[in-house]
Amino acid sequence: MLSGREAMAANLFPTTRLEAFSDGVLAVIITIMVLEMKVPHEDGIAGLLTLAPILFLYLLSFTFIGIYWCNHHYLIHRIEQVDHRVLYANLGFLFSASLVPFFTAYVIEKKSDSFSVALYAASMIFAGFTFLLLRIAVGRLLRKTGELECEDVATQRKHYASLALYLVAIPLAQFHPYLALGAITLVTVIWILPTVRTVPRSDLGQHS
């Protein structure tokens, strides 16, 4: 870790504002999606039922952005300073994330047709790609300031599995759009489930 004066000279900045800005952008992204949902014309339970697929897609995209927020949190927590490269890589990631509400609206309006679901999967791959660039920029900075890069293997495996499932989802959407959405849903389940399971284990290891 460089001292304050050295940090200034090397164009390093504390992570606080990058975190605050990213939190703000992701908070807006995750909530404006709700504006896409329109109150149905039918009254009563019939109207609510027409909403079911839209609510499901909203939940899916909300979880997608939510998981990325968690991963962003973990990633930036590992550094104390950012350079220009990380700032711009972060902007790239936020740009790709900001497209998710739009492509969610796309799937909703096109009623989950093959093309819109493939596009939705592609936008998720794009987000994954820009997040990978951010991880590389952070890793570069960690090596520069002399710290070991030690992202755990389980997390890396999850990134690969996600990419594989999204890549499968695109051709799958041509034949079975709903199966493709199932593959995308599976990715979010992968990210949430094992996390819950891992915590008690590491606690056991620590307290025994």
d(CA 152, CA 154): 6
Q: Taking a C-beta distance cutoff of 8 angstroms, is the pair 97, 134 a contact? A: no
Radius of gyration over every alpha carbon of the chain, rounded to an integer in angstroms:
19
Closest separation in Å from C-beta 108 to a copy of itself: 8
For residue 199, state whether it binds a copy of itself (rule: CB under 8 A): yes
Give the containing element (helix H, strand E) for 81: strand 81-82
Altogether, the residues listed in the chain come to a count of 208
Residue 88 CB coordination number (10 Å): 13
CB of 192 to a copy of itself, least distance (A): 6
56 binds a copy of itself (CB under 8 A): no
Restricting to residues 159-178, which ones interact with a copy of itself according to CB under 8 A? none
DSSP secondary structure code for residue 79 in this structure: -
Cα Dmax for the chain: 65
Closer to a copy of itself at the Cβ: 17 or 164?
17
Site for a copy of itself in 66-105 (CB under 8 A): 66, 69-70, 73-74, 77, 83-85, 87-88, 91, 94-95, 98-99, 101-102, 105
Tell me the site size for a copy of itself, rule CB under 8 A: 66
For 51, the token pair is: 């909403």
If one asks whether residue 50 binds a copy of itself (CB under 8 A), the answer comes out as no
> Are the C-beta atoms of residues 104 and 57 closer than 8 Å to each other?
yes
Q: Which of residues 134-153 bind a copy of itself (CB under 8 A)?
A: 144
> Rounded CA gap, 1 and 18, in Å?
18
For binding to a copy of itself (CB under 8 A), which residues are involved? 6, 9-11, 13, 16-17, 19-21, 23-32, 34-35, 37, 39, 43-45, 47-48, 59, 62-63, 66, 69-70, 73-74, 77, 83-85, 87-88, 91, 94-95, 98-99, 101-102, 105-106, 109-110, 113, 115, 119, 144, 192, 195-196, 198-199, 202-203, 206
